[in-house]
A and B are shown apart, each in its own frame.
Chain A
Amino acid sequence: MADRGITDRVAVVGAGCTRFGERRDAGADDLLIAAANEAAAAAGIDLADVDAFWLGTFGSGHAGTALSKPLKLDNKPVTRVENFCATGSDAFRNACYAVAAGAYDVVMAIGVEKVMDSGQAGIPFFEFFDDGTVVPHTPPGTFGYLATGYAQRHGVADADLRAAMTHVAWKNHRNGALNPRAYFQREIPKEVIDRQPLLAGKLSLLDCGGLADGAAAVVITRTEDARRYTGKPVLVKALALAAGPGTGTMDPGHDFSSFPEAVAAARSAYAQAGIRDPRAELSFAEVHDCFTITEIVLMEDLGFSARGTAWKDMVGGVFDRDGALPINPDGGLKAFGHPLGASGIRMIFESWLQLRGEAGERQIDNGRTLALTQNIGGDPGECVCLITILGT
């Protein structure tokens, strides 16, 4: 059993990200062209200089041609990656390994999603055939299990949990208000968030991350080559992926108050990066706030709060942009928006800006040099979790 990691062997030397949102002006091809060229320009290269590509998309394309065709790539290797909402970050992970292996010198990981053309509510991509035993559940419904499960396990009163979930939404919209690329760029008062009608379980519409169109891309090289492209490379400290056995919906012992996959991925990532006290050592984290309750639960699974206390820490401002450990300073899935295949790389894009001191009004300046990004893909009880740790 080995989990060695590739700490400090590869670096991000360029990054780009489109504006997220209801991009009715742009197709998936347009979004890919924009993100790819912005990332290449940041690294000071042409797309022709990139040796290989990893394209992450959940449902907006199928093969490598989904990227090679719009960019008119000349027979370059392009791999399409899909791993639910960890799609973009897994494209990044595989691209990093190819560079660390020495197979290529310069690679690009790029993620895209085009969800707003469907005219339907929720994630539009579906299986075509099945055996008729699948409950037609939705992410708000199954992530709603977390709110019930968390409250039941820790004896949290409805009003207290509501206040914590409201704080997540309020905080992330407040952060997004300072982000010109975000889908939603305005603050939402807590009293507005508090009085929304329920959509699923204890969750209202304002507890949900906003599905969005968008794309993000990064250029990766070996660390020893990085300074050829940028004076401030961002090093990859850890890459950890956990795919769970999916027994949460089969095992009466599972109480929906935690993601065991996130706990496992965090353990691996912290070991790779040599982190002992993540709350004190990380400068900030970009976590998968697909729903407000998800962010609360993740604070405990990632070791930022003790079990049963994240809701108090959240309300107490620990995770605000000026708190002890800022979470989702770019607005997160909640306000930046959630183009499924792009979200993981969008988090790396924000880390690129923050760690280089280029985040403008929302710049975090706490003297620490490590950032964590994290995605959940799937449903509580049956999911994958991918964590990266980046640093200078």
Chain B
Amino acid sequence: MAEIMAYGGYLPAHRIRRSRIGEALGTRPATGSRTVASYDEDTTTMGAEAARVALHGLPGPEEVRGLYFATADPVYLDRSNAAAVHAVLSLDPSVPAVDMCGAVRSGVGALRAGLHAGPPTLVVLSDIRAGLPGGADERDGGDGAAALVVGTDGEVVAEWIGDAARTEEFLSRWRAPGEQYSRHWEDRFVEEVHVPAGRLVLEEALKSAGLTAADVDHLVVTGASRRIAAAVRAAAGVEEHAAADDLLDSVGETGTAHLALRLAAILDRAGPGEVIALVVLTEGADALLFRTTDLLAHRRSAWPTAVQIEHSSDELSYATYVTWRGFLPREPMRRPLPPQLAAPAARRIGAWKLGLVGSRCAACDARHLPPQRVCGACRALDQMRPDPVAGVPATVSIATVDRLAWSPNPPLIYGTVDFDGGGRLQCELTDTVPDSARTGLRVRMAVRRTHSRDGVHNYYWKARPERGEQY
């Protein structure tokens, strides 16, 4: 049987209080907050961040032999988004990276495919939920990603013990390619399909594992409103205290990613031998059962999602939120767009550009970012060895808040950051405000979308303030 070897979640540094939506639009204010992907984040960058967290739980990324990437909001059609995640992680080229995109059900589908794959497989689920202003997706949705390494190897944090599925062709939510938002059928009709389907798959999965509803320690129901989730739990006879935190108060429903984000949140604190039931309601229903192991206590995520929420801000304004999601076009700057991307040049430096692999001089040990052929310290030629720095903490040495420079989110903040263990990089600073961008700020590197031009989204690394990560 396949198992979960490692896991990780990623939540953006920005949240908006739902009361602000109500204040801006004059609608009934809702409680809590939702996460918001920054202007420079998308499902690819968030997925890559979650995968980086998950890989910290493995002895080495070389163990991963496959990558599945799922989202209902793919950055590209007709080309792989998984390949960019693969590049950020510097996985071996022999590792296949495959997209499963379009439907929310792709998320649980990718997980199921990974569990069946055999060799350790990285399953990355990521989503941005942006509905029209004033709608339910805007209010109740959330942005985030989660990643699981699954396989049949020995050292695992949870075992896969049960499984059931049901497919129902019916209309609950839909979005044609190119459209900016999804539409919905009324919730009461959806409830009539989802509640019995969810109850059925949960019962069948429990039966396949030789368990009963009373054995469930944590029940996760995603893809549905709180009311439908409660109805599925009650119909299946699972105790109320087993209803796991649905993350709706602080994160929102993160679509494709939500089942894995909630699983990650449970794994962050569950004890050994506990049974976790996942029910995903889409065009039908899926139920997956897991049981935690003794090893979990020693292999928890080094950056729990609860810590990420703690190190985030819910001060985002509604005007900024709708600007970031593209619902409020703004006057462009009187500056030229960054240049067109040259595909061969970008490919030539791929290990640096997406993997942040610098070079270190074998003769004098000086680190070079970006990688150089001639050593800046001792002038040795071609004595460099690869030196990955994506996971290395750094400190801002000089920062500038530039109100003249082009940026999709002015002002552009950039400077030089000095890495622990040597090396300096000039780069953008993100997830920060002008007053915080100062010498001495401790930062981590994050891959972001710097700009888009001619339908090409450019990815590169920026420095962001530390957010409580324990690595």
Contacts and interface: CB of A to CB of B under 8 A. Distances in A.
Interface of A: 119-122, 124, 126-138, 140-142, 144-145, 148-149, 152, 198-201, 245, 247, 249-252, 254, 256, 381
A249 B426 contact: yes
A148 B427 CA distance: 17
B410 to A, nearest CB: 11
Given A133-B352, A251-B376, 16 more contacts: A119-B334, A120-B335, A122-B404, A124-B336, A131-B341, A131-B349, A133-B353, A137-B400, A141-B405, A148-B439, A149-B398, A198-B401, A199-B403, A201-B399, A250-B376, A251-B424
19 contacts: A126-B336, A128-B339, A130-B341, A131-B349, A132-B341, A133-B370, A135-B412, A135-B428, A136-B407, A141-B414, A144-B400, A148-B439, A200-B401, A200-B404, A201-B401, A249-B424, A250-B368, A251-B377, A381-B426
A165 to B, nearest CB: 15
B406 interface: yes
Contacts of A199: 402-404
B38 interface: no
Contacts of B397: 252
A131 B371 CA distance: 14
Contact of B412 (A132, A141, A250, A381): A141
A327 B334 CA distance: 33
Given A121-B335, A129-B342, A145-B415, A135 B427 contact: yes
Contacts of B349: 131, 133
Contacts of B458: 132
B369 interface: yes
Nearest to B347: A131
B256 interface: no
Contacts of A124: 336
B348 A144 contact: no
Question: Which one of B369, B370, B426 has the greatest number of beta carbons of chain A within 10 Å?
Answer: B426
A252 B372 CA distance: 16
Contacts of B342: 129-131
Contacts of A130: 338-342, 345
Contacts of B401: 198, 200-201
B353 A121 contact: no
B196 interface: no
B426 A131 contact: no
A250 B424 contact: yes
A267 to B, nearest CB: 20
Contacts of A245: 376
B423 A129 contact: no
Pick the 5 closest A-B CB pairs, nearest first: A141-B402, A129-B342, A131-B345, A247-B376, A249-B426
B341 A129 contact: yes
B352 A137 contact: no
A249 B414 contact: no
Contacts of B428: 135
A247 B425 CA distance: 10
Interface string B181-203: 00000000000000000000000
A382 B405 CA distance: 19
B190 to A, nearest CB: 43
Contact of B423 (A122, A128, A135, A250): A250
A254 B366 CA distance: 14
Interface in B304-334: 333-334
Contacts of B345: 129-131
B416 interface: yes
Contacts of A134: 338-339
B346 A256 contact: no
A138 B346 contact: no
Nearest to A118: B336
Contact of A127 (B339, B348, B426): B339
A201 B439 CA distance: 12
Contacts of B422: 252
Nearest to A143: B400
Given A119-B334, A251-B424, A145 B460 contact: no
A254 B416 CA distance: 10
A152 B428 CA distance: 21
A130 B339 CA distance: 6
Contacts of B333: 121
A227 to B, nearest CB: 48
A286 B346 CA distance: 41
A148 B437 CA distance: 12
Contact of A136 (B353, B412, B416): B412
A198 to B, nearest CB: 7
Given A133-B460, A252-B397, A122 B348 contact: no
Given A132-B450, A250-B424, A121 B404 contact: yes
A245 B149 CA distance: 44
B362 to A, nearest CB: 17
A249 B376 CA distance: 11
A152 B400 contact: no
Given A131-B346, A133-B460, A252-B418, A198 B341 contact: no
Nearest to A121: B334
Nearest to A135: B414
A187 to B, nearest CB: 25
Which of A122, A133, A149, A201 has the most chain B CB atoms inside 10 A of its CB? Answer: A133
Contacts of A120: 334-336
Contacts of A152: 439
Nearest to A142: B400
A129 B428 CA distance: 20
Given A132-B353, A133-B353, A249-B424, A138 B405 contact: yes
Nearest to B350: A131
Contacts of B450: 132
Given A144-B400, A201-B400, A252-B422, A137 B414 contact: yes
A152 to B, nearest CB: 7
Nearest to B424: A252
Contact of A256 (B338, B376, B398, B402): B398
Contacts of A128: 339-340
Interface string B415-436: 1101000111111100000000
B335 A131 contact: no
Contacts of B336: 120, 124, 126
Contacts of A144: 400, 402
A389 to B, nearest CB: 30
A245 B428 CA distance: 22
Nearest to B367: A250
A245 B372 CA distance: 12
Interface in B93-110: none
B370 to A, nearest CB: 7
Q: Which of B398, B414, B427 has the most CB of A within 10 A?
A: B398
A141 B412 CA distance: 9
A122 B418 contact: no
A137 B353 contact: no
